[in-house]
Chains A and B, each alone.
Chain A
Amino acid sequence: DAKTTQPPSMDCAEGRAANLPCNHSTISGNEYVYWYRQIHSQGPQYIIHGLKNNETNEMASLIITEDRKSSTLILPHATLRDTAVYYCIVRERVNEGAGNNRKLIWGLGTSLAVNP
């Protein structure tokens, strides 16, 4: 099973870039890497995902190493509202021939605290 490893907690100063690392050394060639975050008492919020290439959207950038064994989520200018638990996830195929039935393999996440 593909799994992810993240530091349990990180701190970041408001206005600075937050770089959140994730190891997924057993990832398969056709598995995507997803990042979600969860603010207290809310549902997980999708941030970004990628397969091989680096990706950027309005929320963040995702840098995936060439060997795909690790990735980094970058929040370019962290704000207090970015304080949350950030989950790095890979998607596991669970049933051959069942189309796109896959389950997300969640790690324990990184609790990011953005400080004023």
Chain B
Amino acid sequence: DTGVSQDPRHKITKRGQNVTFRCDPISEHNRLYWYRQTLGQGPEFLTYFQNEAQLEKSRLLSDRFSAERPKGSFSTLEIQRTEQGDSAMYLCASSLPRGGLNTEAFFGQGTRLTVV
């Protein structure tokens, strides 16, 4: 399968614990995006990378969230001291812009986080 893959697919954690999710983009894609989605809402932009550089981070993202893409390939999203409000689907997408514009972005199947 050469699509975007995310791991794990599901994560249940206790409030206060740290969690880390991984995203493997399509291999030649240099852009990688992270989103959070709750029921009935669209994907909420969190951050994105161009190769290993984190170019933008949502103002809505608290300091408990951090993302990395150290070698410009896979990316990790860490949430520290999880809260119940962090329960959501975390989606990753990748793209290969042409002329600075995305022609299509492909999404992974997401990691569903439940904080209890």
A-B interaction: no
